[in-house]
């Protein structure tokens, strides 16, 4: 078979900004993304898929909140919510790929692994939760929930209300990554580290989940490193990364070196919460493996040399 490729799917692969998140919307979006990824399959490459889950986790948290208010059913913690969305999104990706594979008459199996990712209990991010999750609340509601649950809430900078914030620690180790690599090398399409993985801590031989969210691009980058991938793709909603974004001297980045990528990142050319973590994840992969990382959108995958390509 061909190369081993790890692809991190952005949120727009599952849910577009103007959509509500219905089942039909998501399965259509996923299937379209799988059709774009079919170019890898047609040339015989092996494929590992990571994905985000932000909107889906938000919807799950809303459902849990409704259950608490109406039926006094206790809400579930973040690690449980991540595991729940890993299963549901993995199911949609499997359906999408099986439809595409059937249409292309390609014989490949698709498997989803509910994946735990180990984080360090001493990660400094646990002292400074910054990742917003779930719905928006009024200040009074946020104070009420904070007193009742001990959760931290911060005001949205755009004035949309208050949201719960959780730590975003660094991924340290992906559980069962050797099985992921084995399955992929056998020709199976493997979905793993969904939503960045279920955040867990190992201590004294035990494993327990924590209230946190792991960046899905960093987790996918670690998966690409640990499985000895030949290339790492990060799919987003733009065909390339830019410097001087939305300015008169805006410039799309094509093929750039690792040193150039680091320089642009240090200059603050990429926005945190948007392109910066994607570039950081790409840099880590190229540094660790010497292989190339690509940042682009799904529609550009069929065009050779498209996207921002970071090489050593």
Residues marked active site are found at 11-12, 131, 216, 278
Dist CA 53 CA 86 (whole Å): 8
Tokens found for residue 48: 């590992």
What's the start-to-end Cα distance of the chain, in Å? Answer: 25
- Residue 154 CA, chain-centre distance (Å), reads 23
32 is written with which tokens? 């379209």
DSSP state for residue 217 in the 8-state scheme = H
Instruction: Classify the phi-psi angles of 290: left when phi > 0, otherwise alpha if psi is within -120 to 50, otherwise beta.
Output: left
How many other CB atoms are found less than 10 A from the CB of residue 306? Answer: 16
What lies within 8 Å, CB to CB, of 89 at 6+ separation is 14, 51, 53, 56, 194, 195
**Helix 78-104 vs helix 54-71: angle between axes, to the nearest 10 degrees?**
130
Q: Are 46 and 185 in contact (CB under 8 A)?
A: yes
**CA-based max dimension of the chain:** 58
DSSP per-residue codes, 222-253: HHHHHTT-SEEEEEESSSS-EESTTSTT-EE-
Q: Which two tokens stand for residue 228?
A: 């000895």
Parallel, antiparallel or unpaired: strands 131-137 and 198-203: unpaired
């Amino acid at each position: 078979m061909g190369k081993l490729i790890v692809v991190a799917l952005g949120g727009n692969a599952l849910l577009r900004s103007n959509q509500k998140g219905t089942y039909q919307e998501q399965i259509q979006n996923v299937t379209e993304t799988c059709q774009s990824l079919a170019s890898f399959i047609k040339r015989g490459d092996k494929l590992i898929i990571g994905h985000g889950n932000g909107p889906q986790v938000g919807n799950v948290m809303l459902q849990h909140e409704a259950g608490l208010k109406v039926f006094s059913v206790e809400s579930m913690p973040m690690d449980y919510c991540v595991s729940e969305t890993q299963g549901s999104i993995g199911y949609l990706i499997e359906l999408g790929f099986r439809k595409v594979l059937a249409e292309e008459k390609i014989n490949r199996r698709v498997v989803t692994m509910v994946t735990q990712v180990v984080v360090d209990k001493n990660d400094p991010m646990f002292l400074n939760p910054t990742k917003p999750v779930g719905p928006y609340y009024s200040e009074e509601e946020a104070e009420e929930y904070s007193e009742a649950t001990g959760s931290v809430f911060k005001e949205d900078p755009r004035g949309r209300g208050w949201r719960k914030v959780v730590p975003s620690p660094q991924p340290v180790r992906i559980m069962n990554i050797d099985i992921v690599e084995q399955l992929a090398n056998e020709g199976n399409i493997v979905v793993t580290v969904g939503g960045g993985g279920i955040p867990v801590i190992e201590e004294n031989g035990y494993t327990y989940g924590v209230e946190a969210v792991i960046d899905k691009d960093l987790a996918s980058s670690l998966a690409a490193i640990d499985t000895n991938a030949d290339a790492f793709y990060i799919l987003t909603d733009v065909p390339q990364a830019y410097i001087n974004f939305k300015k008169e001297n805006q410039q799309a980045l094509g093929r750039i070196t690792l040193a150039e990528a680091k320089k642009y990142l240090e200059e603050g050319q990429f926005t945190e919460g948007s392109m910066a973590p994607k570039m950081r994840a790409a840099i880590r992969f190229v540094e660790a493996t010497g292989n190339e990382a690509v940042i682009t959108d799904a529609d550009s995958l069929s065009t050779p040399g498209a996207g921002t390509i970071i090489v050593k």
